Structures are given as C-alpha cells and as structure tokens.
Structure 1
C-alpha cells in the first residue's frame, strides 16, 4: 500500500500526472470529434475519420454501440486513458443528448475538471447550460473551447459575452482567433502575442496540421492575412486587454473564471495548443468528501488514504464476444493492484478485483495497477451497483450519486411471450445500469419503465433486440411528471389521470399527467408530502 516514504512519493508523483476530465456540450457542438482529435494528438490513433462518416467509413474511437455509430451521437459514457507528453489523461466521453443527462451527471462525479465545447455559430445552448450548472454545483473547474471556427459563426467578442451572461462566470480568453470561417488561419497566444498559423494536411483533419510560429507584429507586416482580418484581430485584442478579465489559476480552480480557447476540431486548428494548455491548467486528483459510518464527514486524501474507489457506471455487453457486465470504478485514493482484495461497503464483505481492464471502444487492455484519478473496468458478477464504495480500510461511503426525475413513462412487453425469461434478464440489466428506471404496480402484477427522455426507450428496445434477441412492444403513457409519496397510501386522494406505483427500492411513487395535477394533489393532501426525485 502506501506505508513507506518511497512508495508514498511514487504515489504522489503518479497522482500529480493525472488529468481526469469530462467533455460537456450540446449535441452537435463537436464533442465527439474533439475526443477523436485528442486521441490523434496523443498518438492513440494514427488517423482520424469523420464521426458521421459514410456507410462503411470510420466511426469515432469512443463510440462502441451500433446505435451510436448509426446515428452519429454518443449514447453511453466511455472512459479512455492515454499519455500526452508528461501527463496521463483520463477522458470521460459523456453523452451530449439531453435524453441521457442522468448518465452524463453520474459521469461528471468522476471528473476533476471539464471541457465545455461551444459551437461558434450557436453559442451557449440549452444542454450546455444544464451541464455547466452541474459542474458549478460540484465545483468542477471548466475550460471553454469555442469550436467550429472554420465555419461561419458569431463574432468572438459576442460569444465571450454570452458565456459570461448565460453562465454567470467570468470568461478569460487565453488565445484569440485570426479570422473565422474560410479565413480562419490561426490563433494568437495572448500572454506573449505569439501566433500559430495553420495549414491543412489532409481532408477532414485526418492527420495533424502543419504549424508555423511567428510574432503578431511579424504577421501584420507579412501580408499573410487580409488587412480586414488583421485590423479586426488587433481591435479585439486591444479591447479585451482593456475590458477583459485577467486569468489566474486560483479563480479557475474555484470555478469563478473559465479560460476560453478558439479552435476547429474538424480541421485540428488549435487542438494541440489547447491540449497543451489543458495539461498545464487542469487540476490533478484531490481529496474527496465521504460519509463515515457514524454519520460524520471525512475528507479522503488521494495520497494519505489507502486504496478506495466508487462505481459510477455499469455497462453490459460492451463486447458481444465477452457478454458480461462491467463496473466502471473511479480510483479516489491509494494504489490499485490487479487481484487485490477490498471491502465492499454496501455488502459488508470482501471481494477480489479480478480481471481489471481499460477500454477504448471495443478494445480491452488488462490493467496491472492504477492511481487516483484513473478509471478501471471490473467484471461485475452481480456484486456492484451504481454508487457502491470499495476500499481497503472501510468505514465510509463516498457521497451518493445524483438521481433524476423521469419525465416519460411506458409499458413494455416482449412480442413473443416465449422470450419472457430473456426479456426479464435484459430489463434487470438495463435497470441496474440506469438506462431506464423500473416501476411496478402496488400488487406487483404490472411493470412500467421510466426515463428522462424518449431516446432512452429507443436504446432500451435496441439493446433488448441486439443483446438479448427480444423484440418488444412499447406503449408510451400519458404521464409527464412524478413524485415520491410520504404518508399513508390508503388515505391519499389521487387526482384523475394519475397512478400510484413503487420504485425498485419499494418507495411509493405517484405519476401525474402534468404539473397542474401534481399541484392539485398537493392541495388535496395537506397531510402527505410529495417529494420530487433528485
């Protein structure tokens, strides 16, 4: 473990190298493209292909589910590790689609920082606001990348202003774009006025770009960019020097300021300099709060505390050849070693962590050791649930993961009653992973599924068909909100178009047609409490 000074020093050095982060964005802002380009610049892949490639073409390295490849969206959160210069990067590639926000929120608990990707033409969009709010709530420092500078977009100063006003945070430009759209030629580093001029090397940014470095005044004299572009750059730089926010690392780590970068993930323009800055600015893993068994709070130090981790995600059948379930663990403290025996806090028993692995798409690699900040996959024989804490010493649990209120409900059944056993097995697995929530009638004769968004039902049916060979019939119900009920069920006055069920923990849940019916129920039942899920 970490008993002597030498071992502790090695642990501290390994922890200091780690950068564990998530990418957050609205759909189509370029998050998955950026993920792939980070892998390109790290050397993990040799060439990058278009995320929404033609039939038979390449797909993003982080996307493994067939449905993700077909639709060009990220549905499940993948975890990838790669080396970049002197850093060890743990990248959590989260779903951008709002229907999968619950999976994204859980994944954000495993991140020490976040990269917020914004479309230069669309600015701060709805899902971006929601995800940023979660980062702020969890005090996760955020770096902002304004993407798609190679396409027609809004003025950079307008985008900076919108980031500040929409998200209530100070924005500080670390670099500034030279031109935009077809005239996007490079970036200026504001700290020293050093310019990087880019030239394309392959269609679609399949390989690294060529970079030429010179000073801003040299660029102005060279005639390499148009007079109009040069005048705009100089005007903008003068303005933000006078009225802009200065940058320092402490307010960034405190979540008070976001450093802003401009780039094009598609063409690779500005990606390498952004990754360099990320490694310098982003924090390494720090202490995490947990609850002791006696109810008091404890800070789990990554160096001083022996090995501990928690489960933030479950995923079954990631590789059809394996047909197993994987529990994703975030290492919080100490050094992990393959086959080590740890205490499973919820079950109050010892378990051996065998066959640990890391994943990039469907490729598995055995993990011999891991350090704070690392993400490892453990084969899950039904022992692990989302939120479980494991450690060498025991005696505490990391803070519970967020749970979100479903907004869409349905009945689902197998088309072939002979497939009922496979259907039940698949449904149980999906519920454990958090793909959907399972609700049951009070007499246990009827089952419902609940989700944050409609696309989750599409994924549910797709995975039941592909992984369990079960075709299903799904009927969406007319309920749009819900609440836990505290009080006697027998005396609760249920409004029309409402239904009482129970969740997987046996808690009573009331489903309502709309918010009005929910408010009416509150007024009619002053002796009961309707508690929102969360």
Structure 2
C-alpha cells in the first residue's frame, strides 16, 4: 500500500489553457526540455525530424501553426511523474479542450502580458472553475513591452472572478526588463537580453537587500520594484493553500517562455504546490485514488490515425484509481463485458512507449478497434460509471456528400471514426424523401480540419454545403406530444443514437417552438438538463 500511495502522490496531471498565440505550445516545449524529454524545443530527443512543435503532431497543425487537437505528454522531473495535457487554444476546437480538462487535476492558465485576459481564456477558465480545480497563472512575454502587472491582476479578478497571489514579481518590463524576484524562495533571477538562456540566480534576504541595488544597477527600477512589493505585501491577497486548492486564489508566475526565463522556477514551484490525483464522481459516489486500490478509469479522448503508417485508433484513458498492469482484465461497463488490455501506451505527442504499469493520475493510450466511446468507464472487479463528459451544442451545420461514389465505403468509415473521436457531430435527416447526412460543429475551422483529414487520412474528397442553422436541441417528451411535434416541425434530424434533434436558424425560432410545445423538453445536448 505504501508503494502505491507514494506512486500516486508523485503524479501531477494538469492541462495548459490559453488564448491562441499566448505562447502555450512554446511553454509546453520548454517544460519537456527541462524534463529531459527533448534536447531543444520542437524536436524529439535523439530524433532528426523537422522542428515543428512536438505537441502539434498532426500535419495540418504543422501547416497552419495552430493546435487543433489535445496532446498527452509525459515526463519525469525531480521525482515527480508529470502528465501534461496540451490543449487547442483556438475557440473552434474548445469542445476537445473542455473534455480534456475532465482528465486534469489542475490547470495552468497562460496569459500574454501585453494582451491580458482574452476571449477564449475566459471560456476555458469557466470550465476550470466549474470543476473547482486549482488554477496556476503564467504571465508570458515579459521580455516584450506589456501591461502593468497590477492591471493584469485586476483584470483577472474583474473578468474571471479569481483573486491572485504573485509568487514572483517582475523588475521592469520589455526593454527595461531586468529579472524577477521570487517572493516564495527569496531569490532574484537576472535576465540577460543578449543570452536569455543564461540565467543567473542570486539569494537575497528580501526586497530591501542592498545586493539588489548592486546587481540591478538601475536605481529608478529598483525603487519602483520595492514600492510595488510593499504595495503587494500591504494590500495584496494573503497566500492561502486552501484557497489555491479550491480554485479561488491563483498563484501567478511571471516569465518568458520563448526566452526560457522563469520557466524552470515555475515548473519546480508548481510541482510542489499542485495537487496529486484527486477524486472523481461516479454512480456510486466519489472515487478517491489514495483510498481505492482497485483499478478504474475513463476515456476522455479518442484519436484516429496518430500513426499514419498503421491507420490506428487510440483511446486516451485517465486512470482514476488503482494500479494498471499490462495484460490485466477489466470491465467495460457500457458494454457490460470483460476485456483484456494488452498493449497500453504512454505518449510524447505521437511517439509512444508500451507501458507495463501505471497509476492513478496517469494517462495511457489503448488500441481501439471501435470498442470505445468518449466517456466510457473501465473498472476492475466492480460495476459503476463516472460522470458524463461535457458536450457542446453545435453552432454550424453543413450537408456532407462524397465526390466519388466509389469512395463511399472509405467516406463512411472516415466520418464514423471522426464522429466517435468527437471531432464532429453527425446527424441524419428525419422523414425526408432523400436522406442526407449533416455535420454539426462548434467552430467553422472544424469543417476545414474535417475536409483535410478525410482527404489525407482516408483518401476521400467531400463536398460541404453550409446550411443556415445555428442551434440544435434534443427533444424529449411523452409519445403523443412527440408524434405531433415530429409531424408538424420542419428541420428534424436524428443523432447517431437515433434521438430526435430539432435544428433552428435563430433564438426566435427556438422560442416559438418552445411556446407552441410547452410540454416538450428542449435539451442543449443529449445529456444536460433542459434550457
């Protein structure tokens, strides 16, 4: 039992969230660098591949320079086993990010010092708050001219509703950036603009230590720094482990990921403070990793064609409790049958290693011949299910057809697999003379990714004809009301499980239908409560 507890308590599983272009992929690369997983940002250790961001493994990501799918990355550092869930920053792929957050025990929120809290950051932050997980903030790009640090802290509180505690504090910014003061460990990290990677660290007794005047050399800069620290000490929030743990106080770290400045300090302090694997809610109550030695886990992501040479499909499983051993038999709860897991893998993006043993908090990949769905629960010697995955209602729709009739079989396979991944939602027209498949997505960029992946992974060209709907609602009610609704309502489709879904062009049409059929429930998706 002691070995098991030690293993669990050494795990840190967290997601990195941000608005696009805040530097998230760069920060991820630098963390991997410190973990020894890569020799330089963008390259796998020991490989001679092109220098694309390691977490952006999909070809379209390399071409577009954006992340469109979550990556699972793991490494060891100073006795910790670290699992990073790198997520898409673009809002069009936020559904993938939201699902990934269910597998994280904490989150690092990356903010551009010049831009502050941006739109997508607000959306992702809300999900973190709903889950009540600790949120750590890294304010990036300090070597460029940015906004006043106090202004950024105020924005965190006003826009996100979270208080903050700076773990370190910048001395200057942009061209005058001289370094950061580590309030937690009483150290000064000096910034060398000629060689940012060469970081000199000085121990000090506190912000008033005379050595700071000597090593910074700019009296005005030092005076301003001391005034700011005094203001923080007098008027700032007090450090509170309890508030950090429940997600109401965010520790702030300042630095520059591209310059590799402040990243190692962030990593080391984060690993000290972040929680080890936390409990998850299930149909039989909370499953607590430390108290539960029986294996359990849930699938939070499915990805096809990670290895183009093998056209394989991987289900990402978050281990929630117990010890996983290669070859063990587990219960697939939804299917109600046992299954043996023979080739589990762990990841450095698309690169993988066979895993013999893994523990609560770890992310492993399971070969998926079409057995798994997002949200599936696997357990050892028990029969319960974890809480449902969050789902989004699609906001953009298009009729999809294959250009070449001879490619229909490949087309059906590709669309089915991408639907099971959660990359798209697929609907079928209801009560129409000519049946038609309709794709629903949260963001329009998903259409581009769908076309690209069908063409390059399944060798299929498709035609997407946009249709003017923006709202989908799952309809529930008694048989009589449902029959009347199905006869009278236009623009009905069914989802992949045959459930009735009504499509509307705008809120007015939706409200009209709700007024006309008050006894029916209009669900935002197949799992949530009526709106």
The alpha-carbon deviation at position 491 of structure 1 amounts to: 1.9
1:455 matched residue in structure 2? 445
CA distance in 1 between partners of 2:406 and 2:497 (Å): 28
1:210 matched residue in structure 2? 199
Whether 2:251 is the aligned partner of 1:235: answer no
CA distance in 2 between partners of 1:429 and 1:90 (Å): 26
Contact 1:493 1:524 (8 Å CA) reproduced: no
Q: Deviations over 1:199-225 (max 9, x none)?
A: 3686xx7xx532231424244431634
CA distance in 1 between partners of 2:212 and 2:362 (Å): 45
CA distance in 2 between partners of 1:356 and 1:143 (Å): 31
Contact 1:422 1:468 (8 Å CA) reproduced: yes
CA distance in 2 between partners of 1:423 and 1:65 (Å): 20
Q: What pairs with 1:280-291 in structure 2 (closer than 5 Å)? A: 280-291=272-283
Whether 2:379 is the aligned partner of 1:391: answer yes
Q: What pairs with 1:273-284 in structure 2 (closer than 5 Å)? A: 273-284=265-276
CA distance in 2 between partners of 1:422 and 1:532 (Å): 31
CA distance in 2 between partners of 1:226 and 1:100 (Å): 46
Q: Deviations over 1:395-427 (max 9, x none)?
A: 210111111111000011111111111000000
Indicate the SS of the match to 2:299.
Answer: strand
CA distance in 2 between partners of 1:470 and 1:312 (Å): 27
1:264 matched residue in structure 2? 256
Aligned with 1:406 (options 394, 418, 433): 394
Aligned with 2:86 (options 76, 93, 100): 93
Change (3 A) 1:227 1:278: same
1:484 matched residue in structure 2? 474
2:75 matched residue in structure 1? 82
Contact 1:201 1:210 (8 Å CA) reproduced: no
Change (3 A) 1:399 1:201: farther
CA distance in 1 between partners of 2:483 and 2:297 (Å): 42
Contact 1:265 1:271 (8 Å CA) reproduced: yes
Indicate the SS of the match to 1:492.
Answer: helix
Q: Deviations over 1:274-296 (max 9, x none)?
A: 0011001000012222103xxxx
1:53 matched residue in structure 2? none
The alpha-carbon deviation at position 229 of structure 1 amounts to: 2.0
Indicate the SS of the match to 1:229.
Answer: helix
The two structures have a TM-score, normalised by structure 1, of 0.93
CA distance in 2 between partners of 1:422 and 1:159 (Å): 50
Aligned length: 513
Q: Deviations over 1:433-470 (max 9, x none)?
A: 00000011124821100010001111111110110001
The alpha-carbon deviation at position 62 of structure 1 amounts to: 0.8
Contact 2:427 2:496 (8 Å CA) reproduced: yes
2:46 matched residue in structure 1? none
1:353 matched residue in structure 2? 341
CA distance in 1 between partners of 2:104 and 2:488 (Å): 42
Contact 2:471 2:505 (8 Å CA) reproduced: yes
Q: What pairs with 1:102-141 in structure 2 (closer than 5 Å)? A: 102-141=95-134
Query: Runs of 5+ in structure 1 lacking a partner?
Result: 1-7, 51-55
Whether 2:39 is the aligned partner of 1:46: answer yes
Change (3 A) 1:16 1:346: same
Aligned with 2:171 (options 163, 169, 178): 178
Contact 2:392 2:524 (8 Å CA) reproduced: no
Contact 2:199 2:261 (8 Å CA) reproduced: no
CA distance in 1 between partners of 2:524 and 2:419 (Å): 20
Indicate the SS of the match to 1:400.
Answer: coil
The alpha-carbon deviation at position 372 of structure 1 amounts to: 0.5
Aligned with 2:520 (options 518, 523, 528): 528
